[in-house]
Every structure is written in structure tokens, then in C-alpha cells.
Amino acid sequence: MRSWNPWKIKIYLYLISTANERPREWMGITIGRGQTVRSLRAIQKDASYIIHYSRDTNRLKTPSLSTVKRIMDDLKMKQLIDYKMVQQGMLITINNYDYLSSTPITKMVHQDLSKVEQPKRPKNEGPQWMFDEGLL
């Protein structure tokens, strides 16, 4: 079993962040909640980043297509995602998307914040109070 290398982490988080919150129609197919449509080349391009060596020298770091394909296969083998080929690319399903998107912070974003009772912060306790209150 392969370990979690930086490319795998970046691609997995990218897929989670691009997944639909609500089902919608796109180019004749229904993309459900927790799904996204991407090609390997689009994932490769979006996972790239710029390395700044100096003010005038930059380099684009890009995973190879074979690396992206291997990571997608590995994520599928670990049952973190599922994908199938469609005419527009790959229909990627994030397994356990409801759980992944139901963190306390995500829940707060979707609630009316005026109705949320704000926790009282004890004096001089630092950030530990947030863990004790179950906020983090």
C-alpha cells in the first residue's frame, strides 16, 4: 500500500473541494452531491504549483499524467473515491462526502449565524477552551 505523498494529499483535497454541494445537470449528465467531473489533464494542471527561486526565476512543478492516474487508482483502491469514464471526462464520486462535509465549521457556515449561540471564552486559557468545548 502506498503512503500519503504530497501529490496524493493535494489531489484528494482538490477533489473534495471541487465536489458539488447540490445535484445539478451539466452537459446532459446529472452530477450528484459529492461528485465532480474532471479529466486527468485538468487534475494535473490544477495540482501544479509555482516554485519561486528568486525574483526573476520561477518554475512550474507539475505531476506527470502517470502519477495522477496512479494516485486516482490508489484512492479508488482505498475506497476514498470512485470514478467512471463519461464522455466529458471522469465522473468522480467522493465516498463519505456527507461525513467529510459535516465538520463543525461546515455546519456553522450553512446555519444562520445570528441564531448560533457563541461560546463564552474563559479568560487566560488560550486556545485549549475550543478543544474542551468540542469546537475543534
pLDDT tens digit string along 54-107? Answer: 777 888 889 999 999 999 999 999 999 999 998 888 999 999 888 887 765 555
The total of structural domains in the chain comes to: 1
Q: Is residue 81 part of a domain?
A: yes
Which CATH number belongs to the domain containing residue 61 in this structure? Answer: 1.10.10.10
Q: Which helix (H) or strand (E) holds 18?
A: helix 6-18
Task: Give the lowest-confidence range in 3-12, 36-45, 49-58, 120-129.
Answer: 120-129
Confidence at 126, pLDDT banded by 50, 70, 90: low
CB-CB contact of 83 with 12 (8 Å): no
Q: Is residue 106 part of a domain?
A: no
- pTM of the full structure: 0.69
Q: Is residue 126 part of a domain?
A: no
Q: What share of the chain is helix, strand, coil (3-state, %, to 5)?
A: 40, 20, 40
